[in-house]
Chain A
Amino acid sequence: MAEMLLFNALRAAIDEEMERDPTVFVLGEDVGHYGGSYKVTKDLYLKYGDVRILDTPIAENSFTGMAVGAAMTGLRPIIEGMNMGFLLLAFNQISNNAGMLRYTSGGNFKVPMVIRGPGGVGRQLGAEHSQRLEAYFQAVPGLKIVACSTPKNAKGLLKAAIRDNNPVLFFEHVLLYNLKEEIPPGDYVQALDRAELVRPGQEVTILTYSRMRYHCLHAVKALEEKGYDPEIIDLISLRPFDMETIGASVRKTHRVLIVEECMRTGGIGAELSAAITERFFDELDAPVVRLSSQDVPTPYNGALEKLTVVQPEQIIEAVEKLVHGQV
């Protein structure tokens, strides 16, 4: 098995899928000659040419709609959002046309496309470059939403997303591109709709995704030393949730902590908390606890930014309170 950096794992997934299927192509800002803002598509234009690795003008709504039209007529576009936040400018095309068109057309057309790129809060990038669009898009019918978190799942999930016949919003995290991990050789594909059990445990279920997976692991290390035994599940699929895996864990631990980078209001955790309460209320020994980002535009100042996002100490405290029935 070869070790790979996360951005190279994504690149390998795209390269392999483009080789496998000539209808797969990449479009977006600076994906070609520049190689992508995080080098995910570096030099692919040399292999596939300027049509299959299409550098677009800075016109997010239009090139997203263009990808929808291409998908409707038989191609499999991969859009790179240079920063996922920029795709707010493409909200209409993502919602009305990528998400809803299959239904509205009564099944006349399918829209197999991937919209991928860096999301989340980075290091002092300011409010506009620190958005978590997964929260905004989770209500759009017809979209699948996935967040990768390791080089291995980045590769396997992206390959699955490219092969899926539906529009998939694929979130990477701006701070995880340089993670390194061994990747299974060959055609490694990971199911889009399955959560990942990161650490089995008995006392409390921690549900998280993307970069917060590492904050949780960090916190759990300290908790282990104190004798706690939490379970960590990486959601992977943010729409729809893998309620089977989540349910099995809730039935085991009877306590749930959600740790997310979304803002609290209308976030992924809000929806997840409601889903768990509705389906597994009788299994719960305590209310579902959410740790989310503060409801503020992410501030530039480093200290304020840190206050905005969940920190490992908060996770430790929340687990201790949950286990001791102090919630």
Chain B
Amino acid sequence: MAPSRSLPHFDKATLPLTSDEALMLYEDMVLGRSFEDKCAEMYYRGKMFGFVHLYNGQEAVSTGAIKTLRPDDYVCSTYRDHVHALSKGVPARQVMAELFGKATGCSKGRGGSMHLFSAEYGLLGGFAFVAEGIPVATGAAFQTHYRRNALNDTSADQVTLCFFGDGASNNGQFFECLNMAALWKLPIIFVIENNEWAIGMAHYRATSVPEIYKKAAAFGMVGVEVDGMDVMAVRAATLEAVQRARCGEGPTVIEALTYRFRGHSLADPDELRSRSDKEFWMSRDPIKTFATYVLEQGIVTQADLSAIDQKVAELVDEAVHFAEASPEPAPQDLHHYIYAD
């Protein structure tokens, strides 16, 4: 068992939600959950292959953070990237088709589960080596900084959200990029999804100071911890960080304490995590707790939520039909995309 770390409390009353906002957040989380459940089903039915890392349980982080962004902002992800892509607006059918390896996938069937990309939706990619996306995201933020400061482009106020896990926070690229981002006040937010486990390595066994957000202070940067099972807490912290980044006041570290409800990947026997831990986190399911809250507060009705459940189920089914009906990449195009013209 990991030494227990108390979860930060968020006072929901500090983030008033309109019914439209509440439904938007709920829909995005349900989409993430339903999409991933469908992926598991398709994987076991032999429709997708390779390593598939599902996001179940962590939805509040993707939704809470990414749904604060504008379409022209950037998101950089990891191998666990399906739901980040969906939150950023990449159509579910394009993501599903990519997982099926089809030509209509967002990476044209060349990337697969761990390498989702979309220039159109500002998704810089799924990066499958731990921590290698952090420098790339830092570069996108540098580009915004460059346009604003070297080219005097006053419209350059885009923000980059860089996602990675607790495991990546022990890698040199994390520290190197925190240093550069703080040094140059880059408009980037490092969102650490601390789900306590790097495959089978418990975070507290790998990290001398397990509170990752505290490492921001060493770089003169704001670092906050949030309850990663509370979409409103993540949203509130990100709104503040986005505001800071857009104004040129520099980067932020957000450590979201969360948990994955499934193994590391669909190939992981998941033998090391204790049942009591899983039960504790499952009882804090971000979708259920958010639904309960917005119903109790009278912000939405059960009918509203049920309508969304229905809509998302249809959307995910449609994505599967689209993926199945889509063509395979043409064999003669094997060498296509190696070089740009």
Instruction: Write the residues of chain A forming the contact surface with B, with a CB cutoff of 8 angstroms.
Output: 22, 25, 48-49, 51-52, 56-57, 59, 61-75, 92-93, 96-97, 101-112, 141-142, 144, 165-166
Q: Which residues of chain A have C-beta atoms less than 8 A from B107's C-beta?
A: 104-106, 108
Interface string of B39-70 (1 = CB under 8 A from A): 00000000000000000000000000000000
**CB <8 Å contact, A66 and B177:** yes
Q: Which residues of chain A have C-beta atoms less than 8 A from B134's C-beta?
A: 62, 65
Tell whether A69 pairs with B140 under 8 Å between CB atoms, given A59-B176, A75-B146: yes
Chain A residue nearest in CB terms to B74: A73
Min CB distance, A6 to chain B, in Å?
A: 28
Min CB distance, B315 to chain A, in Å?
A: 23
**CB <8 Å contact, A65 and B111:** no
With A65-B134, A65-B136, A109-B119 known, 11 other A-B pairs at CB within 8 A are: A25-B150, A56-B180, A61-B172, A66-B142, A71-B139, A73-B144, A105-B115, A105-B117, A110-B340, A165-B339, A166-B339
B173 within 8 A of A: yes
B338 within 8 A of A: yes
B215 within 8 A of A: no
- Bound-state CA distance A77–B183 (Å) is 19
The one of B109, B139, B143, B179 in contact with A106, judged by C-beta atoms closer than 8 angstroms, is B109
Q: Which residues of chain B have C-beta atoms less than 8 A from A141's C-beta?
A: 338
- Bound-state CA distance A56–B180 (Å) is 8
**CB <8 Å contact, A104 and B140:** no
B262 within 8 A of A: no
- Bound-state CA distance A101–B135 (Å) is 14
- Bound-state CA distance A22–B152 (Å) is 11
The 5 closest A-B pairs by CB, nearest first: A69-B139, A65-B135, A106-B108, A105-B117, A62-B176
Instruction: Write the residues of chain B forming the contact surface with A, with a CB cutoff of 8 angstroms.
Output: 74, 76, 105-111, 115, 117-120, 124-125, 127, 129, 132, 134-146, 149-151, 172-173, 176-177, 179-180, 183, 336-341
- Bound-state CA distance A61–B132 (Å) is 9
The one of A63, A72, A111 in contact with B180, judged by C-beta atoms closer than 8 angstroms, is A63
Q: List 20 A-B contacts (CB under 8 A).
A: A51-B150, A52-B146, A59-B180, A62-B134, A66-B139, A69-B135, A70-B140, A70-B143, A72-B136, A74-B143, A101-B117, A101-B125, A102-B339, A105-B107, A106-B117, A108-B117, A109-B124, A141-B338, A142-B339, A166-B339
Q: Which residues of chain B have C-beta atoms less than 8 A from A102's C-beta?
A: 337-340
- Bound-state CA distance A276–B337 (Å) is 26
Chain A residue nearest in CB terms to B135: A65
Min CB distance, B79 to chain A, in Å?
A: 12
- Bound-state CA distance A56–B181 (Å) is 11
Most buried by A among B107, B139, B144: B139
- Bound-state CA distance A279–B143 (Å) is 44
**CB <8 Å contact, A103 and B337:** yes
Q: Which residues of chain B have C-beta atoms less than 8 A from A63's C-beta?
A: 135, 176, 180
**CB <8 Å contact, B340 and A112:** yes
Q: Which residues of chain A have C-beta atoms less than 8 A from B141's C-beta?
A: 69
- Bound-state CA distance A108–B117 (Å) is 7
Q: Which residues of chain B have C-beta atoms less than 8 A from A67's C-beta?
A: 139
**CB <8 Å contact, A106 and B176:** no
**CB <8 Å contact, B176 and A57:** yes
The one of B129, B136, B176 in contact with A69, judged by C-beta atoms closer than 8 angstroms, is B136
Tell whether A105 pairs with B139 under 8 Å between CB atoms, given A65-B173, A66-B180, A142-B339: no
Min CB distance, A244 to chain B, in Å?
A: 17
Min CB distance, B16 to chain A, in Å?
A: 35
Q: Which residues of chain A have C-beta atoms less than 8 A from B118's C-beta?
A: 108
Q: Which residues of chain A have C-beta atoms less than 8 A from B74's C-beta?
A: 73
- Bound-state CA distance A49–B129 (Å) is 34
Tell whether A22 pairs with B151 under 8 Å between CB atoms, given A59-B180, A102-B337, A102-B339: yes
**CB <8 Å contact, A52 and B176:** no
**CB <8 Å contact, B106 and A108:** yes
Tell whether A105 pairs with B125 under 8 Å between CB atoms, given A68-B139, A73-B143: yes
Q: Which residues of chain B have C-beta atoms less than 8 A from A93's C-beta?
A: 132, 135
**CB <8 Å contact, A142 and B338:** yes
**CB <8 Å contact, A165 and B143:** no
Q: Which residues of chain A have C-beta atoms less than 8 A from B125's C-beta?
A: 101, 104-105, 109
Min CB distance, B88 to chain A, in Å?
A: 13
**CB <8 Å contact, A96 and B135:** no
Q: Which residues of chain B have C-beta atoms less than 8 A from A166's C-beta?
A: 339-340
**CB <8 Å contact, B140 and A72:** yes
Min CB distance, B334 to chain A, in Å?
A: 10
**CB <8 Å contact, A68 and B339:** no
**CB <8 Å contact, B108 and A73:** no
**CB <8 Å contact, B109 and A64:** no
- Bound-state CA distance A185–B137 (Å) is 40
- Bound-state CA distance A57–B180 (Å) is 8
Tell whether A70 pairs with B108 under 8 Å between CB atoms, given A22-B151, A103-B337: no
- Bound-state CA distance A65–B125 (Å) is 13
**CB <8 Å contact, A104 and B115:** yes
Q: Which residues of chain A have C-beta atoms less than 8 A from B138's C-beta?
A: 62, 65-66, 69
Min CB distance, B219 to chain A, in Å?
A: 12
- Bound-state CA distance A141–B134 (Å) is 22
The one of B110, B132, B336 in contact with A92, judged by C-beta atoms closer than 8 angstroms, is B132
Tell whether A75 pairs with B132 under 8 Å between CB atoms, given A65-B138, A65-B173: no
